[in-house]
Chains A and B, each alone.
Chain A
């Protein structure tokens, strides 16, 4: 893969000593009162002009959340979060709601340019990208721009901010919201249900192959602000869509909470490919600051022959707690999970997947590559289960861990439950280190220690990188190199 060379080139051209997305933008914002209460929930709902049913839905979630204990089963440690010390809604003042791109505050457009995400369609078209990518940009709590909307509409594809969908497509939102991740699913999902601010909504009509990659960029700018986005993607019968999510945040000393919910629904013969390049601010080398990334992502292969595939490149966040999962309900449906999770410094990653086989002849595949450097901790946690009726369920799992240095940890925690004797589950796991021999060999040929490490790591994750859309594979490789900065020597 020639792209590996590009990584090395990119490493050279980048200022790798800094988290390059760590700048703060001065954009005036409008916030909800600090803290969480029924009033906060009503404030958010009112800001968005939501119908009564949704306000009630949120309040119901809030009341249930109050009765839930915060989870303690994962391998991550953090001081208790003071939920009353956060802002739950923040919007750039000049942008009361999504409008035409020409109305977007030029300062905001510059922020996204700085992030390498041009929002102006003509720039996208004139740019070097070989294929078009439609972008929805979410800044703190609101979506500020969605590109290529009209072109997508020609195909009947709906791609807009969640708030917009609530107004323009209420029947779809009502039908699918919470149908994959129930309101009471888990502590953070319930919290999200109460206070979610914005996110993306996608609907692909029957038989339509979405003509371009869809993509959302999330940016947390305000301090002390939680980001609670909500994404819902529905692929109707025989539809196909590939979707990518990217995230960044400024460097701040205090931790910031990000608790998103993503729901995917694939109907008969439909396919959804969901890719994430997660690069939230990880905190500094001593573990100060950084994002707490507590995310619930789940896909439902609701009908026969549906397919859902998760690909993730996780390099950021102080703590990542994330298990993109597939419910394989339809017969012959298929779930895939490809993951690269990199931790450095004092980052903690507890991530993995659940493949829940309910239908007949369902198959799933899990390829997880964990890379731990510095003093970080990297855990793969996965569940593969087959229901009594899931005859001939098949899973293949491969978990590889790579350790860089002496002070990091990698752990693999697989759970397997088969209630049918016809299920065949295979599990492979390896743990390896970048050896001195490998490093010396590369350096003897002229590569620096860092270039050598990036090259070896890119080799280690190659199977997964190949799953990413081409444009993003290159970006992911850059990120891998940057996030390993300081891990050598």
Chain B
């Protein structure tokens, strides 16, 4: 469903992605691991449509259509969801309000009618229950004063509600305690489906213990330098990036 072809990306004239190629198939969970600064978050931002990045070459295809030309909100409506490494605070806007606005904006873009308030409430309650999020939190302004772990959990709750085609998870495991990690991973697993793909960015094997990847990519200096099975992540955990990164240099 997702094909990234020969992607070159710069920011302020500095090259960050350097001819990156990547495919995520329907139903697949692909993990990306790689040293700090290798460009993982950049990749997820470029797929989602953040504007400060300049794509100098290459394509990002979603179901065969190049999405680089369309706005972030249009990509969202087509089913691209990014769980942010650093979720953003929106003061004064109740989480519930934000979720409803997002969901209905996407529905509208797809030509569906707004969800009625009771239907919406039912969906939110179910999502909150499955991620063990206290419903009171939905009344608070989005992410304001949320702990690091609460923010991450809320990202996954949003994903569950928006039911994307492709979920990009950028270090969703960082900041989660042991129990939260299991809850969030279960939440992701529950969303695994034949018509949905995931790109899971992480530094640690422990997340992949819960979310079993179909494929693991190693990224360095803006490229995928090795692709393998779940075994690859276990190897990395033992030996670090030394062997691979040296190759790429």
In the complex, whether B199 has a CB less than 8 A from a CB of chain A is no
- Interface of chain A, helix or strand or loop or mixed? helix
Interface size class of B (residues with CB under 8 A): 35 or more
Q: A441 and B90: CB pair below 8 A?
A: yes
In the complex, whether A266 has a CB less than 8 A from a CB of chain B is no
Q: A446 and B98: CB pair below 8 A?
A: no
In the complex, whether A197 has a CB less than 8 A from a CB of chain B is no
Nearest chain A residue, comparing its CB with the CB of B91: A459
Q: How far is the CA of A2 from the CA of B120 in the complex (A)?
A: 12
In the complex, whether B109 has a CB less than 8 A from a CB of chain A is yes
Which residues of chain A come closer than 8 Å to B90, judged between CB atoms? 438, 441-442, 455-456, 459
9-residue interface stretch from A5-13, A390-398, A419-427: A5-13
Which residues of chain A come closer than 8 Å to B84, judged between CB atoms? 441, 444
Q: B76 and A445: CB pair below 8 A?
A: yes
In the complex, whether A443 has a CB less than 8 A from a CB of chain B is yes
Which residues of chain A come closer than 8 Å to B73, judged between CB atoms? 443-444, 446-449
Which residues of chain A come closer than 8 Å to B141, judged between CB atoms? 459
Q: A446 and B97: CB pair below 8 A?
A: no
In the complex, whether A43 has a CB less than 8 A from a CB of chain B is no
Which residues from 64 to 119 on chain B have a C-beta closer than 8 Å to any C-beta of chain A?
71-73, 76-77, 80-82, 84, 87-94, 97-98, 100-106, 108-109, 114, 117
In the complex, whether B158 has a CB less than 8 A from a CB of chain A is yes
Which residues of chain B come closer than 8 Å to A12, judged between CB atoms? 108
In the complex, whether B49 has a CB less than 8 A from a CB of chain A is yes
A-B contact count (CB 8 A): 98
* Contact among A1, A441, A446 with B88 in the assembled complex (CB-CB below 8 Å): A441
In the complex, whether B207 has a CB less than 8 A from a CB of chain A is no
Which residues of chain A come closer than 8 Å to B109, judged between CB atoms? 446
Q: A445 and B92: CB pair below 8 A?
A: no
* A456 shortest CB reach to chain B, Å: 6
| Max count, chain B CB within 10 A of own CB: residue among A2, A5, A458 | A5
Interface string of A221-235 (1 = CB under 8 A from B): 000000000000000
Q: How far is the CA of A403 from the CA of B117 in the complex (A)?
A: 33
* A13 shortest CB reach to chain B, Å: 11
Q: How far is the CA of A449 from the CA of B73 in the complex (A)?
A: 8
* B245 shortest CB reach to chain A, Å: 30
Q: B91 and A446: CB pair below 8 A?
A: no
In the complex, the 9 A-B pairs of residues with the closest C-beta atoms, listed nearest first: A459-B92, A459-B93, A445-B102, A446-B106, A441-B88, A443-B72, A446-B76, A446-B105, A462-B92
- Residues of B bordering A, CB below 8 Å: 48-52, 71-73, 76-77, 80-82, 84, 87-94, 97-98, 100-106, 108-109, 114, 117, 141, 158, 162
Contacts A1-B94, A445-B76, A455-B93 aside, 18 further interface pairs with beta carbons under 8 A come to A1-B97, A2-B117, A4-B94, A438-B88, A440-B50, A441-B87, A443-B71, A443-B73, A444-B82, A446-B73, A446-B105, A446-B106, A447-B73, A447-B101, A455-B101, A456-B93, A458-B92, A459-B91
